[in-house]
Structure 1
Amino acid sequence: MPQGDIDKIAKETGFSGVVWVDRAGQVEFAKAYGLANRTYHVPNTLDTRFGIASGSKGFTALAVLSLVQDGVLELSTTARSLLGRDLPLIADDVTVEHLLTHTSGIGDYLDEEADTEITDYVIGAAHELTTTEAFLPLLDGYPTKFRAGERFGYCNGGFVVLALLAERAGGVGYHDLVRERVLRPAGMTRTDFLRSDELPADAAVGYLPLNGADRSNIFHLPVLATGDGGIHTTAADISTFWRAFFAGDIVDSVDEIVRPRCDVPEESMRYGLGFWLHKSTDTAILVGYDAGASFKSTHDPHTGTTCTVLSNTSPGVWPIARVLAL
């Protein structure tokens, strides 16, 4: 797509974020739009770090799968074997593989099928959510929706449980686990878990409309992200990630990770182990949507083409992603 067309859509929609396209490591299009901080009129740049919401589920999956590769966990490991008496409503036969493929059937603390708006306050005391263990009270009390393995049912809570299992099995906190097993081997030097109440100068504040004003998302999301989403990154780092992932620099089992496990016709996609997949090609996809954040990145392993759109608003990414056919 010509730059003029992207510029036109960005202007019409008030897009705030970054659009990036590269092929085999050569940048074909890269441009930043809008403001990272509206109070101080700080513009977004190509180096701005954005929260990617559920886009970071892929990183959680890879941290878990690296433990599987090392023999610390197995895909057949049951959640119950590590949860003990915690979260008693999770069925005894739910496994790591069920959680990775969204086929666990467990009840979800952040149910995307619920009748809520993106501007609603749904997680309670956001400032208390700084560790994975701190999520236990939030995860508890949700009955099973369906039998494990019966069908696909997107579950945010399932990836928090994965982070918890990884911590307990590996003996390392989730954040350090991802840093050591995913970010470092991938060479993602600008990617990290940032507290929402102390964002650095190069991170974009997430915005959403509330009561006629643009407010930050600080009270809508956990103050520090865990397994189901929220890491901060740059467009360049995402491209670095895709190349490292498909090169086998993070884990060896790339083909198994991107092997379709579930058809998800309502999303016109398929799902592997922690990654969305194109409905008919080998393109791998990461997607994120939350209060004050939206993100979509696709990578075609055959051509080496990466297309990434990041935004510090909830609706920002989608108009441009559609015209880029992401």
Structure 2
Amino acid sequence: MQGEIDRIAAEKNFSGVVSVDHAGDVELAQAYGLANRAYQVPNTLETRFGAASGSKGFTALAVLSLVREGVLDLSTTARSLLGDDLPLIADDVTVEHLLTHTSGIGDYLDEESDYDLTDYVIGAAHELTTTEAFLPLLDGHPTKFPAGERFGYNNGGFVVLALLAERASGVGYHDLVRERVLKPAGMTRTDFLRSDELPGDAAVGYLPIDGVDRSNVFHLPVLATGDGGIHTTAADMSAFWRALFAGQIVDDVAEVVRPRVDVPEEEPVQYARGFWVRGGTDTVMLIGSDAGVSFKSTHDPHTHTTRTVLSNTSDGAWPIARAISGGKW
């Protein structure tokens, strides 16, 4: 496998890390390209990469842990905690709808529209340092379809989930994820990093703009929230999957990853609560794509196999991810 991955990496000019392990035994772990092009800093296995929407699963787990404690309920309506905020969110939209992308609410970052990763779509990125700071961005988007009608991927819905979790628990979203997901999983190299003060072990995200590869610092919120953007490593993702399926994060994993809704894709794919599921299998996936970021981590609970690809370019992860997954989505 190593030779094939090396060939694809060279052909596609891959920048990132690829890892495959079985129950903690590493079969493949290799870094390619540069974490910082200006200073010629190479990627290593310890480099931290943005995960974009890959961290929606972490948001879901933090919310579900609050549900287990009775702080929230799956039937809790968004309106009951939003008050007068975001008035266009329908009264019947619940936590469950938001977790499964079936809320139908309007989205501030609508990936079903004519959206290009090189667009500057979030306005004053430097102001987005808290979940509450997203309220103006979330406001003013009309409902797309009635709650529960169908699947409709929704970034804003997971920001709303983070907001509901904060208001219900009285604890900030970032600390909820750290204490309820990262800590029990032993993810010591994973955290929310400000884009304007990335540490030296974090990869800068790059994307082509006007024929020049530039940093994604103006494309993403300065500090990630519920819809994605945490930084992590391949080793930490392996630790995450082992902890999740060992019941160390939540005690009813089967319910978390049980498919809830079909996703209209070319291949059979379903969605659980914060996690993708490969149709016809029990393989669970976290996937992220954004300006200067691409990420995919999959776990087969039967073989205990984890496959993770992290890249600091917008689409660099996909050829490698397909290769190590046998061409599957």
Q: TM-score, normalised by structure 1?
A: 0.99
Q: What are the superposed Cα offsets for residues 86-140 of structure 1, whole Å, 9 maximum, x if unpaired?
A: 0000000000000000000000000001112110000000000000000000000
Q: What are the superposed Cα offsets for residues 60-97 of structure 1, whole Å, 9 maximum, x if unpaired?
A: 00000000011100000000000000000000000000
Partner of 1:207: 206
Q: Does 1:95 align with 2:94?
A: yes
How far residue 195 of structure 1 moved from its aligned partner, in angstroms, is 0.1
Report the aligned-residue RMSD: 0.7
Partner of 1:118: 117
Partner of 1:301: 301
Structure 2 residue matching 1:168: 3-state secondary structure: helix
Partner of 2:137: 138
Q: What are the superposed Cα offsets for residues 5-63 of structure 1, whole Å, 9 maximum, x if unpaired?
A: 10000000000000000001100000000000000000000000000000000000000
**Alpha-carbon distance in 1 for matches of 2:285, 2:194:** 26
Q: Does 1:224 align with 2:223?
A: yes
The structure 1 segments of at least 4 consecutive aligned residues displaced by more than 4 Å after TM superposition are: none
Q: What are the superposed Cα offsets for residues 194-223 of structure 1, whole Å, 9 maximum, x if unpaired?
A: 000000000000000112211000000000
Structure 2 residue matching 1:323: 3-state secondary structure: helix
**Alpha-carbon distance in 1 for matches of 2:114, 2:301:** 37
**Alpha-carbon distance in 2 for matches of 1:103, 1:117:** 23
Partner of 1:318: 318
Structure 2 residue matching 1:19: 3-state secondary structure: strand
**Alpha-carbon distance in 2 for matches of 1:247, 1:323:** 28
Partner of 1:81: 80
Q: Does 1:127 align with 2:126?
A: yes
How far residue 283 of structure 1 moved from its aligned partner, in angstroms, is 0.6
Report the more deviating stretch, 206-215 or 158-167: 206-215
AA of the residue aligned to 1:302:
H
Q: What are the superposed Cα offsets for residues 147-178 of structure 1, whole Å, 9 maximum, x if unpaired?
A: 00000000000000000000000100000110
AA of the residue aligned to 1:316:
G
Q: TM-score, normalised by structure 2?
A: 0.98
Q: What are the superposed Cα offsets for residues 263-282 of structure 1, whole Å, 9 maximum, x if unpaired?
A: 11316310000000011100
AA of the residue aligned to 1:230:
G
Structure 2 residue matching 1:29: 3-state secondary structure: strand
AA of the residue aligned to 2:200:
A
Partner of 2:279: 279
Unaligned runs of 5+ in 2: none
